[in-house]
Structures are given as C-alpha cells and as structure tokens.
Chain A
C-alpha cells in the first residue's frame, strides 16, 4: 500500500496499542470484578491490612537486603577484581534464578526436617537438633537466594557500562576502592540496579507458594483467601490493586530516576583492568556462598529425592513435558521481545519525555499481580474474543505469558536502546533509511546480546510459571512446572524432583550460552 503517513505517528500508534494489549488482562480483571455483585464484601480485610502490610514489609525489606547485598557485592567482585574461577562465576551466579521460589522452599524444608539428610546425619552422629526454616527469616533467605540474580545481572551490566577511568581517577585522587565503590560506582549504577530490584519486589509481592506454605499472612494470602475461601473475586482484586498502586509508585519513581540520569558512556575506550583481589580465595568464597545455598544445595536435595523416587518412567514423562516448556518459552519469549522492541523503539522515535516513558512502563504491571488473578482476566478476555483460543492451542498461554512477563523483557530492551547513540539514527536516516530499515539494520544487530539476554530471562520465568499455565493451558497439556508443582503441592516432593531438575536444566543451559554470547 502506498498510503504515506509519517512513520513517527505510526510507531507511536503501535506503541500505544502494545501498551493497551498488555494492559487488557488487568482491565478485564477489574471490569470483571465490578460486574460481580458486592454482596459478600469481605468485612475483615480492613482489620487485616496492617498485618499484611507488616509481613509484606518484613519480607520486602529482608529479601531486598539479601538481594542487594548479594547481587551487588558479587557483581562488584566479578567486574572489578580478578580471582580464581572469576570467569565462570560470571554466569554461575545467575543460575539460582532458574529455581522457582516455592521449589526452593520445599527443598530447604526437605533438607532440614526430620527425614532430611542433615537430621539423618545428626542422628547418625548420635545427636539431633530441631531445625525450622518455615519462618520469616527462612522465607527471606530462601527467596532472597534465588531472586538476587535480578540485582546481580543489573548491577554487573551497570558496572561494566561505567567508564573504567572513573574508578581509576577516583583511586588516583586518593580514594580507596571501597570508597570509590560507595562514592562513585554505586551512585552511578543505582538507577540500573533499581530496575533490577523492582523485579525482585514484584516477585516477592506476588509470591503465594512460599508464604502460604510457611504460614506468613501477606497480601497474596489475603487475595487468595478472599477469592478461594470465599469466592469473593472483588475483594481479591481490590487487594491486588493495593499492590498495583504500590508498584505504580515504584515504577514512576524508576522513570524519574532514569530521567535524571545522565549517561556517561559515550565512548568506552578503556577496558577495566581487573585488580587481583588481595585474598583471592576470600573473593572466591564470597561468590560461592550464594551459588552454594541458592543453587547447589537445593539441586543436591532434588537429586537425592529423584534418586529416591524417580523411575525411568517418571524421567521419560518429564522429558516429554520438557518439549512443551521449551516451545512455550521460546514462542512467548519471542512475542515479548517483539512487543518490547515495538514499544522501546516507538519511545525512541518520539521525544523521550519521562511521562511517556512512565506510560510505557505501565505495561510492566502484569508482573506485579499474582498470576492466577491475571489468568482470570485473560480467560475473560479470550472467552469474549473467541473461546477456542484456550481449548485448541497455546495462544492464550502465549498471550498470558507475554502480558505477565513483559516487564522482564522490556526493562532490558529499553536500556539496550538507550545505549545506542542517537547519532546512529541520524546517520542512517541521512543515508535514506526509513525507521523500519534503521531498526532492522542498525538497532537490532547492535542490540543482539541485549535481546538474547532479555529473551533468556523471560524464558526462565516462563519455565517456572505455574498459576497462569494451569488456568490457560489447553486440554491434556503439561509443562515441567505444572508437573513439578502438582506433586510438590500434594506433599510428594520427591516425585516432583525430576521435573524440577529439568526446569532448572532447561533454564540453566540458556544462561550458560547467554554469558558466552555477551562476551
């Protein structure tokens, strides 16, 4: 078609449509709740709110602290210093991300309870000691240990982006490395680290598995209690909205912070010379600790379980489900990328006012709402469009994942676009390349590593996803996660081990390659 319209408005429109599409499930879930008669207004919610807020705050503060301390310190070590196995730690440190929080909780309970290996060993030694990980501290550590990679990935890329000469200058001006870290590197990296932290916060706020298992009442407990025990979807959604408002504030803050940031990475002529760490095995140990407790320990526990409970048949079955997980993750990951590219690029073409960026960030809200709630919105939406989409294919699932995990892919894609100097666009358009050609021939090739990274993060999240998958999957369709969780929830953890291990496996392989590509 030869209809000529200015490409800018075209992209703007596309961007706006993308945001709308991604917000549709939330819009539908809210409108859905309004249509339900308010007969069973859940009276006690107001009295319980303080308790939810208290518990959610404890968990948030605790988990964010664990994630920040672990993520930033390890990222700092592997970027600035040199020590044994440093190169391998670069990607190994991401691995805990592949372990679903609930599965990690089950593994730790299984490790420390009466029938767990630690207690067996203690009894064999002629003693015994009751251990309880099912409390606030346990939840903080168990979740923090598998969520810190969000911060780690962000912090590492922030440190790498920083001009090495800033660190050099600071040291030559008489500041020690530690002071340099606090006075120069941290203030400059904080905006990027903060966007990683937001992902952690959203994960914590919508977690249901761990808090329910550990008996810690928080917002999700309230949401599910209202909905599951009382069939009161409206109250459930009201509670979700409270979380949502909180997240909107955070996202707005994020947009403001990013707005105020002046990038300093015009040219990166200098490669950071890694400084040999004085006590090299200390650095090694610091990096090993989160990997050990966030990955090796739970995986070892699951290997032990699978040895106990998994037969060849169980493994074969799990392997079949692995195909489904891989297909879903791949397709949905690509769709997320497509949406993210459209939205980021349309933002780039229009002048980047922070309010328009903030509007785009609304599309990330899907990540903040419990999957089951968003699932209801998607079912409503799809039944409204064409019910066959659910029963006869994975399109509903793909859409659901996209709406839910858009935040994970978008943040990185957007940051990736920001890194490309605008002069490239000008140069290309002066060479007669229109916006589409510029995107395909300039931006996408430059951003390849970023896009692959974003894709893998989304893939890993999808591989772990449960509630959406349960409600949106077609008949007779299992993924590794559904298979693992169903056994785990039915207190048959050993039987879930083979599927859990495969979830970790399919997520770890791409993480390994991610790091290779990024080099």
Chain B
C-alpha cells in the first residue's frame, strides 16, 4: 500500500544525496584538501584561497556561517568534525573556541608580532580593523577629541552616534573598557554614552557616518573597515558622506585604540593539520599581507607590511592589546551593562 510513497521518498532522498559533491568527506580526510569554517566572506579572502590552491595544489572546501553557529557546529560534531581551521573576526570568539577545547596549538612561521599570536599558539591573527571616532569635520574641533572615555562627557550630549549593543564590535569595545577601567567605571561610561546619544542605537557602521552627513549627530564610533568601504563606494553620494568625516584614533596617550582582529585557529581534530599550518603561513606571509593591505580595508598583521589603501591615509596609530579578549566572561559583563544602562 505504501510502496509508492516509500519509493517516492527514497527517490527524493537519493536525488538529495547525489545533489552535490558526493564523497567529498572521504577525499578530504585523505590529503590535498583543507576544510575551512569561516565567518569571513570577503572577496579578498576568496582570491587568496584560490591562489593558495594554485600554489600548493591543496583544494579548499569552505563553509561560511556566523562565528557562533560554526563554534556550535564544531562542538556538536566533536571528533567527527571534518573542519581543519576556524576563521573568525573577533579574538574573543577564537578564545571561546579555545576554551571549549575546539582548537589545538600549532607552530606556524609568521612575521606576526607576539600580540597577534595567541600566547599558546592557539590562533594567529590575519588582519585587523580599528574602532575609531569619526567626527563631523565642519562642526567638531579635533582638539576636543581625546579618548573613548571622554565621549561620555556631557559636552557631547545629543551628538553621539553608535550602533546597537547587539554588535559584537560594541561588546568587544566595552569588554576592553571593563578590562582597562573596571566594571563600575565601564558602566558609568556606557550610561554616559547612552545619555549623549543623538538617536537610539540602530543601523550599521556606515549608517552612523551617513547620519553625521545628515546632521543628526556629530561624532560616531565606527570601524575603519566600513569607513574604507564607504569612501570607495560605487555611489558617489556615499563617498561624499565619507569625506565629510574625519577619522580620529582615540586613547593614543594611553592604552591605544581598540581593534578587532580576524584570526585563524587549527581545530583540535583537524584531519589535514599540515595543510592547515601551511595555510596559516600562507595567509600571513609578506606577499599576501601586502595583498590584504592594498585590496581590503583592513590593517595587515605582518610587521614587515604597512597598510596601502584608503586606510593608510589616516596615519599610524597606537593600538590597545588584546588581553581583554582572554577573559571571555567579560563579554557577558559587557552585555549585562548594556542592558542595565538601556543601550539597546
């Protein structure tokens, strides 16, 4: 009676199975392949992956998803995981993966300065962005700007633009402020920023700069990467908006400006560990870091390479260390503070 239905379902399943790349898994574990879990999805990365395959003959199999989905997936897969490397854009996420026992330390030859390598070699940074202050060139006197902390000052009342606390960039920034000043001070700071906001936190980083151009506020906390994108937009009005703002690196007298790194770690059960190490070395070598420096709006991590695109024009600056990211529970504190002060 149900023969037809069952035949039909089996047929559908078969079609589904043969859909794409069958038996990839088996081949992948043999050799000559590298399975990458990444939450970076930039054209520059894609070009470098292709180049890697060209140079080494190692084929890259890529899954792109959110960092936390990937970490959850690694956790669930356990030792059955086909993944060789995990690439994410936040040091804290990498540290969380490390704490969950998903990564293994590896020795890779890079020109990364120590601050861009995890203490125990669990991960290596491949690029970074700075979280800076963008200000309205017309209405803001640069000498008024100094630190992130200063933005909580009353003088900025009704002038500050920033996105919502759901953004991991903001969580990361607040974590670093907790790390530097303690929870009390950090909370006062967050409350001060909320008071000074020109509008409810919303939108992306680009939207904050366009809001400055619209005259809604005067000062925005944004990520350099997005300013770079905006200034190189296909829409000339976006470029104009970008040109209305100046970039200011805060906390230069003190601990330095806050950054977000993109980094790579080898998974604990990596079937192709050798290739994974090769891949880390490839991404951080001089040549490819130069490629990042000139083709992406991120800063290179290789100490022999300096930025070479829009972002270079903003000059060099002192960066804060990534020590805060070692304490992954700071993130929870940060989120709680955001909630307590009503920073949506």
Point out residues on A near B: beta carbons under 8 Å. Answer: 7, 10, 14, 32, 40, 42-44, 47-48, 109, 113-116, 119-120, 128, 130, 132, 134-135, 212-217, 221, 224-225, 227-231, 233, 308-309, 324, 327, 331, 334-335, 338, 342, 372, 375-376, 379-380, 383, 387-389, 391-395, 398, 434-436, 440, 467, 470-471, 473-477, 482, 486-487, 490-492, 494
Q: Bound state CA distance, A113 and B209, in angstroms?
A: 10
The interface residues of chain A lying within 8 Å CB-to-CB of B15 are: 331
A324, chain B: closest CB distance, angstroms: 8
Task: Determine whether the beta carbon of B18 is less than 8 Å from that of A393.
Answer: yes
Beyond A47-B339, A132-B199, list 6 extra A-B contacts (CB 8 Å).
A212-B164, A229-B332, A230-B332, A376-B69, A471-B69, A475-B24
Task: Determine whether the beta carbon of A338 is less than 8 Å from that of B8.
Answer: yes
Binary A-proximity of B48-78 (CB < 8 A = 1, otherwise 0): 0000000000000111111111111100111
Other-chain residue from B24, B78, B214 in contact with A130 (beta carbon distance below 8 A): B214
Q: Bound state CA distance, A331 and B20, in angstroms?
A: 13
Take A44-B336, A475-B63 as given contacts and tell me if A115 and B1 are in contact as well, using a CB distance cutoff of 8 Å.
Answer: no
Other-chain residue from B22, B80, B214 in contact with A113 (beta carbon distance below 8 A): B214
Q: Bound state CA distance, A159 and B140, in angstroms?
A: 61
Binary A-proximity of B317-344 (CB < 8 A = 1, otherwise 0): 0000000000010011011100110001
Task: Determine whether the beta carbon of B72 is less than 8 Å from that of A376.
Answer: yes
Question: Which chain B residues numbered 23 to 60 have a C-beta less than 8 Å away from chain A?
Answer: 23-25, 28, 35, 41-42
Task: Determine whether the beta carbon of B166 is less than 8 Å from that of A225.
Answer: yes
A120, chain B: closest CB distance, angstroms: 6
Other-chain residue from A14, A391, A435, A491 in contact with B24 (beta carbon distance below 8 A): A391
The interface residues of chain B lying within 8 Å CB-to-CB of A32 are: 76
Q: Bound state CA distance, A104 and B199, in angstroms?
A: 22
**Interface of A: prevailing SS:** helix
Task: Determine whether the beta carbon of B22 is less than 8 Å from that of A115.
Answer: no
Q: Bound state CA distance, A395 and B41, in angstroms?
A: 24
A353, chain B: closest CB distance, angstroms: 23
Q: Bound state CA distance, A392 and B235, in angstroms?
A: 41
| 10 nearest A-B residue pairs (beta carbon) | A475-B61, A215-B202, A215-B164, A115-B237, A470-B65, A394-B19, A114-B210, A308-B234, A115-B238, A134-B202
Task: Determine whether the beta carbon of B5 is less than 8 Å from that of A394.
Answer: no
The interface residues of chain A lying within 8 Å CB-to-CB of B334 are: 229
- Cβ of B82 within 8 Å of any chain A Cβ, yes or no, is yes
Task: Determine whether the beta carbon of B24 is less than 8 Å from that of A114.
Answer: no
Number of A-B pairs, beta carbon distance below 8 Å: 208
Task: Determine whether the beta carbon of A114 is less than 8 Å from that of B332.
Answer: no
Task: Determine whether the beta carbon of A395 is less than 8 Å from that of B335.
Answer: no
Q: Bound state CA distance, A482 and B65, in angstroms?
A: 9
A-B contact pairs, 22 of them (CB 8 A): A14-B5, A47-B339, A130-B214, A213-B203, A215-B164, A215-B344, A228-B66, A228-B68, A229-B168, A231-B100, A334-B12, A391-B25, A393-B20, A393-B21, A470-B64, A470-B65, A470-B69, A474-B24, A476-B61, A476-B62, A477-B21, A492-B229
Task: Determine whether the beta carbon of A491 is less than 8 Å from that of B21.
Answer: no
Other-chain residue from A109, A113, A225, A338 in contact with B9 (beta carbon distance below 8 A): A338
B61, chain A: closest CB distance, angstroms: 3
Point out residues on B near A: beta carbons under 8 Å. Answer: 1-2, 4-5, 8-9, 12-13, 15-25, 28, 35, 41-42, 61-73, 76-78, 80-82, 96, 100, 163-164, 166, 168, 171, 199-207, 210-211, 213-216, 226, 229, 233-235, 237-238, 240-241, 328, 331-332, 334-336, 339-340, 344
Task: Determine whether the beta carbon of A486 is less than 8 Å from that of B66.
Answer: no
Other-chain residue from B5, B80, B202 in contact with A383 (beta carbon distance below 8 A): B80
Take A388-B25, A394-B20, A470-B64 as given contacts and tell me if A225 and B335 are in contact as well, using a CB distance cutoff of 8 Å.
Answer: yes
Other-chain residue from B18, B73, B233 in contact with A471 (beta carbon distance below 8 A): B73
The interface residues of chain A lying within 8 Å CB-to-CB of B164 are: 212, 215
B276, chain A: closest CB distance, angstroms: 15
A364, chain B: closest CB distance, angstroms: 20
Take A393-B22, A440-B4, A474-B21 as given contacts and tell me if A109 and B332 are in contact as well, using a CB distance cutoff of 8 Å.
Answer: no
A10, chain B: closest CB distance, angstroms: 6
Take A338-B9, A379-B76 as given contacts and tell me if A470 and B166 are in contact as well, using a CB distance cutoff of 8 Å.
Answer: no
The interface residues of chain A lying within 8 Å CB-to-CB of B41 are: 486-487, 490
The interface residues of chain B lying within 8 Å CB-to-CB of A482 are: 64
Task: Determine whether the beta carbon of A387 is less than 8 Å from that of B80.
Answer: yes
Residue of A nearest to B12 (CB): A335
The interface residues of chain B lying within 8 Å CB-to-CB of A327 are: 19
Q: Bound state CA distance, A12 and B182, in angstroms?
A: 62
The interface residues of chain B lying within 8 Å CB-to-CB of A467 are: 66, 69
The interface residues of chain A lying within 8 Å CB-to-CB of B78 are: 383
A475, chain B: closest CB distance, angstroms: 3
Task: Determine whether the beta carbon of B5 is less than 8 Å from that of A338.
Answer: yes
The interface residues of chain B lying within 8 Å CB-to-CB of A486 are: 41, 64
